[in-house]
Chains A and B, each alone.
Chain A
Amino acid sequence: MANSTTAHAHDDHDHKPHGIKRWLYATNHKDIGTMYLVFACAMFFMGGAMALVIRAELFQPGLQFVDPGFFNSMTTMHALLMIFGAVMPAWTGLANWMVPMQVGAPDMALPRLNNFSFWLLPFAFTLLLLTLFVPGGAPAGGWTLYPPLSLQAGDSFPLTIFAIHLMGISSILGAINVVVTILNMRAPGMGLLNMPLFCWTWLITAYLLIAVMPVLAGAVTMLLTDHFFGTSFFTASGGGDPVMFQHIFWFFGHPEVYILILPAFGVVSEIIPTFARKPLFGYESMVYATASIAFLSFIVWAHHMFTVGMPLAGQLFFMLSTMLIAVPTGVKVFNWCATMWKGSISFETPMLFALAFLFLFTLGGFSGLMLAIVPADFQYHDSYFVVAHFHYVLVPGAVFAIMAGVYYWLPKWSGRMYNEKVGKLHFWLSTIGVNVLFFPQHFLGLAGMPRRIPDYSTQFADWNMVSSIGAFIFGFSQLLFVYVVWNAVRSGEKAPARPWEGAHGLEWELPTPAPYHSWDTPPPRNVITQGAMH
Chain B
Amino acid sequence: MRKLLQIEYLKVSGYAAFKILMLGYFLAATTLFLSLHNFSFGPFQIFGQETLKFPYVWQNVAFIGKFLNLGLGIVMILLIGNEFSFGTAKQNLIDGLSRTQLVISKYLLLIVIALGATVFMFFVGLLMGWANSVTITSALIFKNIGFMLSYFLHAFGLMSMAAFIAYLFRKTAIATMFFLAYAVFMEAILRLSIDADFTRYFPSKTLSNLISTPYADLVSGMDLQLQNEAWNEYMILAVFYALIFFVLSVQVVRKRSL
Whether A associates with B in a native complex is: no
